[in-house]
Each structure stands twice: as C-alpha cells, then as structure tokens.
Chain A
Amino acid sequence: MRSAIPPASAALALAALALAALAFAAPRPAVAADTPDPVADAAAFQKYFTNKFPKLKLEDFVNGPYSLNEDMHRQWVEKEEFPPYDFSLDLGKEMFAKPFKNGKSYADCFPNQGIGIRQNYPYFDAKEGKVVTLELALNRCREANGEPPFSYVKDEMAALTAYMAFTSRGKPFDIKIPNDPRALAAYQNGKRYFYTRRGQLNFSCASCHVQSPGQRIRAEILAPALGILNAMPIYRSEWGGMGTISRRFISCNSQTRAVPLDPQADEYRDLEYYLSYVSNGLPISGPGARP
C-alpha cells in the first residue's frame, strides 16, 4: 500500500527541516534518528557494501554478481566481447532514430535529445507529485505523439532503454531529491518497500540483495543491491531475452511468491527512486548481461 502523505503540519515541519538543512549544509544539523535523511542513508548503504566486500572498488558493484565470483568474472569478460544484448541494442538505436507518424521522435521528448541522460532517471516530477522513471517517460512520449504504449517489461521497451543506457555508460547516477515533502515521502515509501518482507517465503528485497549478496541461491549468485539498477536493462539467460527494471521487480516479487504489482505502479516507481538514489555516484553500465 502507498504510504499516507504526512499530514499538513508534518509536511510543513519537514519542509522547514529541509530548509534548515540547506541553510546549514555543513556541518549538518543533528537530527533525530527517525527523521528521513537520504544523504546519510546513501552513505551508510554504500559503506555497508564496501565493508562487506573490501576488495571491490565502488564502481565494481555495477557488474553485480560478476564482481563477486572469479569464475563468473572470467566468463563475463569473454561474454562482453560479444554480448548477448547486442541485437537489442541495435534495435533500440534504430527505433530511437525512427520518427513517429507525426514526424516527431523520441529525441524531442527528452533533454539533450535523449542522449546520455539515463543517469538522471528516475526523477521526481513536481507537477505530478510523483516519481517518473525512464520507462514511464518513454511510453508517455509515445502516447503524447499518438503512438500506442509498449509493454513495460521487455522487447521494444528494453531495446529503447538499452540504447539510452548505452549512450550514458560511465556517467554516474545523479538522482536528486528536491526540497519537496512529497519527494521525500516517495523516497521513504520506496525504502519501506525495499525492506518490507512479503510473499509466502517472507523475503524482502533486502533479504537477498543486502543480507546475502555473493552467496548462492541454488545455482545463482545473488547480486548486491548497490549498483543493481546501473546495469539495467539486462539480457538474462534465465529469461532468454532482455528485461527492464519493471521486469526485474516483478520477477523478484514472484520468486518470493508474493503477488507482483503492475509495472510502473507507484510503489515500483518509488522503489526505483530509492534504489537509484542510494547508488548515486556509481556509473551507468547498462545494458548488462546476467545469468
């Protein structure tokens, strides 16, 4: 369920706090432990992983399980010479350049013609009061130009996001939480979703991807949550094809035997916002290949 937006008074207090934080940027004011503090969250989150895997550099985390296991790393290096996402990437490039029926194209919907901007998504849209992901923005672009939307989980959507990620490779994630209580609420909601246990197996996202990265779950090696979205979209051998962030969330939920949400549901958008924010500073490495 979506969290209730704090009542007006609380929202005001939050805004005041945020203002105070801005005014005294350094040193940061002492805040109560239960006050949301994304900056401290992200630092603690990254520190947890770098402590857990002291041999890894921060940017290694974007390669998920391949950075954690030597054998897999060797296979991956060879695979990257001839990556399985190649066909999708080419399709995405072709689709991106092809104008819509009305003569406009994807480039008209995005800043910088859509090139090298993946690291800025998802962002908080002040007008809508919600988080907007890249996948959502792509389908909105299509609909605004009179084209039917794509499925959020694979094929065309994965190809387009693959191309957009490819043009942004190496650029560090730069997710911003504007000074807006709704943005902070979305972040908090995403964080709550990430740490809440659900499903028949009673797993949270964190049970696997924070508590146990590097360990095996059957034949697979669990990826760390840090940097997990940097490699999206991915060609997963298990899927035999490409998948988007939406697909990843949905399959994660169903593997814990929970009921997945609809792609781009508010919770998933908030989750993507949280998870991207805590990976701020890590480079985009998508499209990726995963077992």
Chain B
Amino acid sequence: MDTFIIYKTILASSILILSLLVAMYSTLIERKVAGFLQDRLGPDRAGPWGLFQPLADGIKLFFKEEFMPNTADKFLYILGPSLTMLIALLTSAAIPWGSDLVINGKSYPLQVADINIGILYIFAIVSIGVYGIMIGGWASNNKYSLLGAIRASSQMISYELAMSLSIISVVMMTGSLSLKDIVGQQHGFNWNIWYQPAAFIIFLVCAFAECNRSPFDLPECETELVGGYHTEYSSMKLGFYLFAEYINMFISAAVMSTLFFGGYNFPFMDKLAVSPNTMALIGFFVLFAKITFLGFVFMWVRWTLPRFRYDQLMRLGWRALIPLAILNILITGIVILVK
C-alpha cells in the first residue's frame, strides 16, 4: 500500500512538472511557429535556437511590478489567476499516459486516477475553469476586464454543450465513461477518428473556443477590449493566466489524442515483441507525438484565421455545432442499433 501511494505521488508530481514544462516551451514553440508561418525566424537570441527564451520570459514576469488597482477586490483579484492555474493543472490526472508498467510482478498504471467517469471529471473541471476568468475579470473593477470575463463565460458555456454532446457519440460506441476503457478499445489502428470524424471536428472547434484560442479568442480580444479579462493584471499573476492557457491547450490536445487518436496506441503495436515496460515507454512517446501534433494544429490555426465576430461565434455554437452534434448522436445510435 505504501509503495502504491509513493508511486502515485511520484506520478502526479512528474505529470505536474511535465505540464508546466510543456506549457513553458509551448510559449516558445508558439512564437517560433508564428515566425515560421510568416517567413520569419522567431526568437533565436536567448541560447541556441532561443531555447532559454521561456526562462528569460519567466524571470522577466517575476521581476515585473506587482500592480493592483485601488478599487479591486483584493481577495478575488488574487484568487482569479490562482484558480485558473489550479484547474488547468487538475485535468491531467484522469488522462492515461501509457499502458501499465510492470515492476516486480506488480503492475503500475501510468494514470494518476482511473476513475470510471473520467470524461465527466474532465468536463466538470474544465467548466470550473471559467470561474477563474470570471472572478479575475470581475475583481479587476474595470469595464474591459468585465466585458472580457462575460464574453469568456458565455462563450465557454455555449461551447461546452456542443463539446459534451460530441463526446456522447464516442461514449456510446465505447459503452464506458472511463478514459482507460476508451483508449483500450482503440487498440492498434482502430482509432475513434475513423468512426467519428464529425464528432472530432466539433470537438476540435469547441476546444479552440474553450481554450480561448484564436479564432475564438474574444475574451482577450485586444483590438476591442485592451487585454480582456487580464487587462489589470501584471507580473506573475498575468503570467499565470497566460500560462494556464497553454496548459489548457496541452491538456485538450491530450484529451483529443486520448478520445480520437487512440491515446498511447499505435499501428502494428502487436507485432513489436518488447517487454511491457518498453511498450509503456513507447506508448508514452507516441501519445506525446500526437499531443505535439495537435498542439501544432492549435498554433497553425491561430496564425491562419482571423478572429470571429461575437455574433458569428454564438451562431456557430448554438445553430451549427449543437444541432450537428445531436445529429451525430442520432446517426451513431441508429448504426449501433442496426449492427
């Protein structure tokens, strides 16, 4: 029992560190990708290929002046970014990062918590995420922050519906809410994306909206709202907001690879005659490659598409994605019935 607790602690903290590291380097990769897509080089001064740029940015953020508006609600003002960060980090617990490790005849799953309602847990946590933004925007006592926060909350609530509905068809196929079961069923090349492409596209679009990423980055739309919900934030509090966005991106890429791209499964995995531990390691790297690719898609889309107008955003969410997701559920149900 003791080793179990120690193992889980090590796993949880390594996943925590991993998400923070990935978020750190996502900022650099984002700028690099942006540069490359625009025929530029991106940051390349700090260290080789600009590898120390995130470090420099972090140090800069720590040393910036901690500014707090006079009229701000002090407690809520600090709670906002902390909550956003906390919730962004919580979701990674339910994701299976690889198949089981076997040490001394005992198997250790590469998943912090295999809860039988894994998907529900992730959606529940993600929807709490909006509170961080809402509280921050409200506590700043600034009309731009408030507008950004209102936009964020209505956008996230609208897109959560379509997002959850698009997952229902996947859950219907699998017959389980546990992420481990969902990944297990996509063994080899039997990925869900081949069966549910429509659900994937709906989920992807909703993930962009949930992460407040372009083309749906209206909550922080700088052309209209100065900085949106984080207008009044500075120093590491601002850093937390920006950081949480990248963690969210990482987690949603992980969720997408788990749900649609078979998680740690890869084609011809049965033909490889390797020990379970090596298998788990390869699986982890395969999952990571998928996450990296999806993260790249996030950035690629951001530097391609202009921002949507708010009414277009709402129309897309309520009048296109939700009916489409329901239709998808219907068709999946009919196919399951007929088979």
Do A and B bind?
no
Q: Which residues on A are within 8 Å of B, measured CB to CB?
A: none
